[in-house]
Structure 1
């Protein structure tokens, strides 16, 4: 592959004969090089093989921010993927890099943005949040800037967002709000404090997260001919009453109609997470 554009000594854009592009990073990889030169891949430390739309946006971003911010973001992404044992969508290289760079540039100006969903993020995305807290330590070590805890919440949401097919951040915020509101409906309907350390609570949160994603993307479980809806409704009448409140909430606030099949899963999870005798029997 040949050099198409040199951003600096450490970041360059390559292209092959078919027009496919790759952004590569490596210490001194662009030193004394020129456009159309062939690169030595033994010097490549990191490569971004991304779709053209993402590549264009990333190139534009690289031209606007310090290279150190790109390298810092890349280090954090690699660390997060390792700790969370997953692969993020390419879009995170744009969104997280842009966010971190902006946060670092506005901090000396005293501009600190509060994260309105910090409590919910800490509660519902505990693993991502813990990694994000460590990301703040990485940032401090590299830049000397100690960003506030609110930034850990924002970084955690970027990790969550990058697991959901690279959806936009607005939908990730919506998902978090939906999960929080539905959990509160269950808690207040039964007038109990849910055991957040239980395996049933963990299962319930996982179900809520996937459900919130499905409802925002109109991918609800379809109706089935041999549905268990009537059977489960009569077996768990209190869970059914609670699930109806959830159905009403979604219709009023999001104009989304919940299928009976989704209601079946809600009733089962609600029963599990609120029935203490059932929990004790499983332990």
Structure 2
């Protein structure tokens, strides 16, 4: 492989056998090298496809300033994440950049609070555990124990990669889910059983629904909803339906999004299952 572009002493861009742009990383892999020269295969530590569709230049500029040692922590977290989540290679750069900046912040005694810590723990438990795993790796290597707020910040990058949305949108989606779950809790004067199957299915439904809403897309279905079915559900699940009506009004007022009958139906069923053992 020949060097197409040098990012820093430890990272270059080249082409793989399928003519795809890839980033190749290794300690000193580009030291003393020029564009067009061969890459020393013995120095290669990590290779991944540069399939970043948006903000490619931003990611590459981030990579220029990131020491290789931080990428090693990210690689371990991502390797573990891929055991149960679908994520893309852009996470290597965004996660490494956050680890780098967070360590520098902690060295300067600048500790940030994450106002969505509880929501991340409850809505995204797998991603949050990966954030905690990253904190363990950081403590092991640098002797710095970060607060759990930082695990939630790291989790946002994992969620962003998993859902293919930018981090700012993930904040918005998380706040949206919190608002809807608060409506349910307030309406029924209850707390959720976070370990229940009904709760986890409800949160999963809200995650996908939120992505559609933020894309301003309606739910897609191969068959149109039979209006009689919704009328039956209204009669069978009176209180869940009235609760969903509050959610419906909130969504229309705050997000200017009108729920379809199908979306109302599914939300009603989810709420009914959650309160069935109340």
TM-score (norm 2): 0.88
Aligned to 2:187: 189
Local SS of the residue matching 1:2: coil
Q: Report 1:199-238 matches (<5 A).
A: 199-221=197-219, 224=224, 226-227=226-227, 228-238=229-239
Aligned to 1:56: 57
For residues 210-261 of structure 1, what are the alpha-carbon distances to aligned partners after superposition, in whole Å with 9 as ceiling and x for unaligned? 1122211122215825242222112211111011000011111111111110
Q: Using the alignment, how far apart are the partners of 1:27 and 1:234 within structure 2? A: 66
8 A contact 2:123–2:203 mirrored in 1: yes
8 A contact 1:21–1:55 mirrored in 2: no
Alpha-carbon spacing, 1:105–1:182, altered in 2? closer, same or farther (3 Å):
same
Q: Using the alignment, how far apart are the partners of 1:17 and 1:232 within structure 2? A: 56
Alpha-carbon spacing, 1:243–1:23, altered in 2? closer, same or farther (3 Å):
same
Alignment gaps of 5+ in structure 1:
278-283
Alpha-carbon spacing, 1:216–1:183, altered in 2? closer, same or farther (3 Å):
same
Please state how far the C-alpha of 1:138 moved relative to its aligned partner: 0.6
Deviates more, 1:8-17 or 1:211-220: 8-17
Equivalent residue pairs, number: 274
Aligned to 2:120: 121
Aligned to 2:44: 44
Alpha-carbon spacing, 1:207–1:19, altered in 2? closer, same or farther (3 Å):
closer
Please state how far the C-alpha of 1:95 moved relative to its aligned partner: 2.2
Alpha-carbon spacing, 1:17–1:130, altered in 2? closer, same or farther (3 Å):
closer
Alignment gaps of 5+ in structure 2:
none
TM-score (norm 1): 0.86
Local SS of the residue matching 1:177: helix
Aligned to 1:163: 162
Deviates more, 1:4-13 or 1:228-237: 4-13
8 A contact 1:61–1:98 mirrored in 2: yes
8 A contact 1:11–1:26 mirrored in 2: yes
Deviates more, 1:67-76 or 1:206-215: 67-76
8 A contact 2:3–2:37 mirrored in 1: yes
